[in-house]
Amino acid sequence: MSILGDIAREAILLPWIRGREKSVLTHIADCHTERMGGNTYACTCGHREVHYNSCRDRHCPLCQGAARALWVKNRLSELLPVPYFHVVFTLPRELIPLAYKNQRSFYSLLFASAQNTLLAVCENPENLGGRVGGMSILHTWNQKLGYHPHVHCIVPSGGIAREGDRWIPGSSRYLVPVKRLSRVFRGKLLSGLENAINRALLVGDERFMRSSLKKAAAKDFVVYAKPPFGGPEQVVKYLGRYTHRVGISEQRMISYSSGTVRFSYIDRKANNARKVQSLSLQDFVRKFVLHILPKGFRKIRYFGFLGNRDREASITTVRDLIEKSGCAVPLSATELSIPVYEHLCPTCGIPMTKVLLADESSSDWLKNRLKRIGNIAMVKGFRSTA
């Protein structure tokens, strides 16, 4: 059992945990335990191991490794032979309450505002003068698990000319000025929020929401660009540890005992020093559930020339334009390889073989779970009827 699993097992008993929050915490509590069922792996040398199944919930930090590796592997064919930029769009604190009460609507507006800002500013002839494409990723946390919605955008350096017949390479230092991105982003997001308020699409007191927009309009929105990636290979390594990140990882958990949770965090204001935060169980759970996304909400989205339905054909066209421009960066096949993980025997080192279901208790649990939800299903060869 992981530390987060121990916490989740007690958290689901809290009286204020209900609905989707309880469902996610139950998945985390059950992950990699006998309650999820599992399989036994055996080696020819006689060594045997039990491997319990994962919950596959996207909020569970223990389940992101395999999902991340598969997702990154599927993205390899989409890489372009150019450097990439990383741009982050953040919110002023005046909009945080509005975001939390209207998560699905607000997050969608945040995505659209960030993407449309990049498209509009980059198409301006005073800047890049071409149509860009990219991928955006929603994060809702900071290092101390505070509620901090922001969008990360990964953008290839350059864009397609308006005529669609040539590639316009970007600067080696920056894509476009971040101050211009900041001003346009503020205008687009506030305009979208005001329109949503006028159409009664947001939940909350209208006077409070309009007051929040007015206060936010007086602030400079923070948009910053991290140093550009050296090449496409670095993008893969970055995506591999970033896209499927959740609010907190098991590696950051230090301990949970006597109702106190201790975890590490990086203090950006103290020269990135690593520190330890201690919270009561209830305070930790309250922070953790802030970052449970609405059901079915996509936190990774594409835009521009990468947002086409026929993305494969679009990427082929863009790649041809880049080759003709003479600014292509060669891709290294060795650095882009994704390792294949096997169950290796710790005794003799050879691959182990899956032989049977871990134990009968896990099978009984599966049958009882099906009875509780009242479905007719076939699981691991067992039939269950309500």
What does the pLDDT profile of the chain (386 residues) look like in tens digits? Answer: 689 999 999 999 999 999 999 999 999 999 888 888 888 888 888 888 887 888 888 898 888 777 777 777 778 778 888 888 999 999 999 999 999 999 999 999 999 999 999 999 999 999 999 999 999 999 999 999 999 999 999 999 899 999 989 999 988 778 888 999 999 999 999 999 999 999 999 999 999 999 999 999 999 999 988 777 766 767 877 776 778 888 898 899 999 999 999 999 999 888 889 999 999 999 999 999 999 999 999 999 999 999 877 888 899 999 999 999 888 877 664 444 444 556 788 888 788 887 765 444 444 544 554 444 343 333 333 333 33
Distance from C-alpha of 97 to C-alpha of 100, rounded to nearest angstrom: 5
Tokens found for residue 255: 């301990």
Q: Which residue has the tokens 């005529």?
A: 163
Inter-residue long-range contacts of 167-173, CB under 8 Å, 24+ positions, other chains counted:
167/130, 167/318, 167/321, 167/322, 167/324, 167/325, 167/327, 168/128, 168/129, 168/130, 169/82, 169/325, 169/327, 170/82, 170/83, 170/85, 170/128, 172/83, 172/228, 173/228
DSSP one-letter code for 374? T
Distance from C-alpha of 376 to C-alpha of 370, rounded to nearest angstrom: 7
The model scores a pTM over 0.95: no
Paired strand residues for 131: 160
